[in-house]
């Protein structure tokens, strides 16, 4: 519990610093591990194509490498009318007859500079011929700021998980993280440092994370290939990250996402 609180205070403290309203951040809008627009484990208050298209899609894939095992997570999302998003991910997990289907959705509220979304997801989990289901509802807020002159966005999430093997009736889901555009004068907007902490992960059966027991801190680099002006109409993101980075059971993940407007 002490370690969990220490991680939480670390991320909250950094998030409050990043929230200083000095310089508007570039909104990268990458895909989280379960397919929703967000950081790694936690969703953000943004949707994939909130300002630029009435209809846009994202396709993504992450692989999590954990003690010689590999989980594959292909995913897709669809943004609708600049205010809603639906997402889907298939998590192969590890071992035989283990797989998860993750379906999510969120609606963005008209809150101005701070992006706020109400969302939820359903986890249909299969373990050795046993089916288990759970549901989560959440409120996510994302607001821009800066850190030593580098654009940043901070996200906070509060929610509740229900269903089979949930964390308990009294447990409240909480997550916080930030997306920092590293040294934009040097890297020209291509490199982002992303971090998140939560007492929940992308799934109740997450690979490479132990969120229900102690909370998890995830960190990594997100490369925005679409920072190239010739590709600015599209989305092309590459991820390299550590999940549960501060604990012994940490894992490594690689991923990418591509998106394009339709209308």
The most distant pair of C-alpha atoms in the chain lies apart, rounded to whole Å, by 53
pLDDT at 209 over 60: yes
Query: Which of 179, 139, 177 is closest to 155 using CA atoms?
Result: 177
- The predicted-structure confidence for 240-255, as pLDDT tens digits, reads as follows 999 989 888 889 999 9
Residue where the block lists tokens 């011929």? 129
pTM of the model: 0.85
CA–CA separation, 94 vs 108, rounded Å? 34
Tokens linked to 126: 């299969």
Q: If 0-12 CB within 10 Å is exposed, 13-18 middle and 19+ buried, where does residue 46 land?
A: buried
CB atoms within 10 A of CB 43: 32
Query: Can you name the residues that pair with 196 across neighbouring β-strands?
Result: 177, 218
pLDDT tens-digit map of 164-204 = 666 666 789 999 999 999 999 999 999 999 999 999 999 88
């Amino acid at each position: 519990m002490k370690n969990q609180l220490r991680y939480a205070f670390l991320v909250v403290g950094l998030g409050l610093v990043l929230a200083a309203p000095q310089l508007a951040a570039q909104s990268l809008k990458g895909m989280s591990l379960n397919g929703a627009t967000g950081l790694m484990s936690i969703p953000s208050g943004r949707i994939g194509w909130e300002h630029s298209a009435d209809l846009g899609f994202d396709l993504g894939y992450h692989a999590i490498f954990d003690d010689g095992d590999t989980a594959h997570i292909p995913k897709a999302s669809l943004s609708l009318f600049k205010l809603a998003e639906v997402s889907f991910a298939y998590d192969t997990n590890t071992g035989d007859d283990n797989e998860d289907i993750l379906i999510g959705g969120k609606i963005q509220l008209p809150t101005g500079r701070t992006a706020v979304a109400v969302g939820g997801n359903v986890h249909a989990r299969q373990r050795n011929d046993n089916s288990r289901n759970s549901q989560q509802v959440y409120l996510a807020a994302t607001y821009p700021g800066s850190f030593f002159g580098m654009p940043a966005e901070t996200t906070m999430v509060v929610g509740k998980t229900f269903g089979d093997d949930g964390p308990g009736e009294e447990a409240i889901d909480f997550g916080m993280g930030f997306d920092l555009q590293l040294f934009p004068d040097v890297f020209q907007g291509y490199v982002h440092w992303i971090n998140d902490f939560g007492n929940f992960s992308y799934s109740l059966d997450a690979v490479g994370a132990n969120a229900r027991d102690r909370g998890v801190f995830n960190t990594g680099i997100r490369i925005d290939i679409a920072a190239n002006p010739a590709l600015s109409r599209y989305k092309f993101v590459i991820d390299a990250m550590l999940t549960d980075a501060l604990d012994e059971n940490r894992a490594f993940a690689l991923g990418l996402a591509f998106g394009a407007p339709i209308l």
